[in-house]
Amino acid sequence: MLILSSLIVKEWFRSLISALIVLFFLITTGDVINGFLQGKDFLRVVLEYSLKMPDLMGKMLPICCLVASLFSLNKLKSHSELIAILAAGYSYTKIYILIGSCALSMVGLQFLNLGYIEPYANKVKRQEIQKSKKSEGRYLTRSSIEGGKFWYKSQDYFAAFDYFDRDQKKLKGIEVFWFNNQSQTNKIATADEARFENGRWIFTNVKELVNLDHVGFPQIYKIPEKVLGLKEVPEDFGEFEADLTTLNFIKLWEFIRRLSKTGINMNEFNVILLNKLALSLSCLIFALIPVSAIFNPNRRSSSFGKNVVFTLLVTICFWVSHSSLVAFGNSGRLPAFIAVFVIPGVFLIYVVRSFWKNQKLAV
C-alpha cells in the first residue's frame, strides 16, 4: 500500500509543479512585457513584479491544486494504473484522504503567503514605490499601526487615531501632540472623535494638557467641544486604510480586536481577515473537486479537452461568485462570515455530496 500511496503522491505533486511552472511563465511573460511597454526600466519592472507575485500566487495556488488532481488522476487512468490501484484493494476513501493530505501542504503555503508574505510585499511596495507620489505639502509621514493606532507626522505635530470613518468624515480616538521649534512637546489633546465640518476639525470630549514645555506644572482642561487646527482634510486620511494590507495575520487580528472596542462597524476589516482563511481552505476544496473521477476509472472516459473546459468553468465560477460576495461584504451588505465562506462552503458541499453519492453507487 505504501508503494501505491507514493505513486499517487508523486504524480499529484508532479502535476502541481508543472501547473505552477506553466502559470508562472504565462503571468511573468505578460506582466514583464506590459512593464517594458510602459517605458519602465528593467529593475523597476522586476521590483514591481516581485512585489505583485504574492497576490498572484494567492489566485494561482487553488487553480494549480485543481489542475494537479485533475491531470494526475487522468494520467493514472490513461495508463490503467488507477484500475490496478483500486483492484489491489486501495479504497476510494483512502485516495480522497491521500490527495486531501497533499493539498493540506498547499493550504499551509497559501496561508503563509496571504498571511505573511503578501503583507510584507505590500509594506515594501508602499515604502519604495508609492511614498513619493504626494507633494511635500500634502504628504504625511506615517508609522506602522502595530500599536493599534494610525500614526502620522505633520508640520508641527504628531497625531494618532484609531479609525477614520470615510462616510461621516470622522476620526475616532484622536490624539494630537504639538511641539515647538526646539522639538519639545508643548501641548497634548485627546478626544473621543473629531469631525470635519466647513473646513474645520471639531473635537468632541476634549482633554487638553498645555504648558508642557514650561518649568511649572502643566494645566489640564476638559472641554465638551472645541475646534483644533489640524491641517489635513478627509481625503488625506484615505491612504491610511491601505496600511491594513501591510499587517500580517496575527497583527491584523489583534488590530481588529482592539478596534472592535470602539463600537464601529468591523465588517470590512473582518472580510480582509477571514478571506485569508477562505482562500487557504480553497486549495483543499479545489484539490478534491476532480477526485470524483476515480469512481469511473476507465481510461476511455478520459478526455483532455473536457478536463480543460472543466478547469476553466470551475475557476471562473468560483472567482466571479466569490469576488462578488466579498464586494458585498466590504460594502456592509452581507456579514463578513457569509460573504467570505458561502462560495467555498458550496463547493465543499458539492465535494462531500459527490463522494457519498458515488460511494453508495460503487458499493
Average pLDDT over residues 343-357: 91
Most confident by average pLDDT, 131-140, 293-302, 345-354: 345-354
In whole angstroms, what separates CA 270 from the centre of its chain? 11
Give pLDDT, residue 98: 92
**Grid coordinates in use for 51?**
512585489
pLDDT exceeds 50 at position 136: no
- What confidence tens digit (pLDDT) does each residue in 23-54 have? 888 888 887 888 777 777 888 888 888 888 99
Lowest mean pLDDT among 147-156, 166-175, 247-256: 147-156
Give pLDDT, residue 339: 94
- What confidence tens digit (pLDDT) does each residue in 218-268 have? 888 899 999 888 888 887 776 666 667 788 899 888 878 877 766 667 788
Give pLDDT, residue 231: 82
Domains, the chain, ordered by start = 2-130+264-362 (no CATH), 155-231 (2.60.450.10)
Share of the chain above pLDDT 70, in %: 87
Q: How many CB atoms lie within 10 A of CB 131?
A: 12
Single out the residue of 35, 33, 97, 106 nearest to residue 286, CA to CA: 106
218 vs 273, more confident = 273
Q: With both helix axes pointing from N to C terminus, report the angle between 336-362 and 267-288 in degrees, rounded to the nearest 10.
A: 20
CA distances 31 to 17, 45, 343, Å, are 21, 9, 29
pLDDT exceeds 70 at position 145: no
Alpha-carbon distance of 338 to 344, in angstroms, equals 10
pLDDT exceeds 70 at position 173: yes
Alpha-carbon distance of 222 to 227, in angstroms, equals 13
Give pLDDT, residue 92: 87
pLDDT exceeds 90 at position 358: no
Contact in structure between 161 and 145 (CB atoms under 8 Å): no
- 330-344 in b/e form (b: 16+ CB < 10 A) is beeebebeebbbbbb
Give pLDDT, residue 172: 87
pLDDT exceeds 70 at position 301: no
SS3 at position 152: strand
Average pLDDT over residues 73-78: 84
What DSSP assignment string belongs to 155-211? Answer: SSEEEEESEEETTTTEEEEEEEEEE-TTS-EEEEEEEEEEEEETTEEEEEEEEEEE-
Give pLDDT, residue 137: 39
**Average pLDDT in the chain:** 83
pLDDT band of 135, cuts 50, 70, 90: very low
**Grid coordinates in use for 290?**
476532480
pLDDT exceeds 60 at position 355: yes
Average pLDDT over residues 153-157: 80
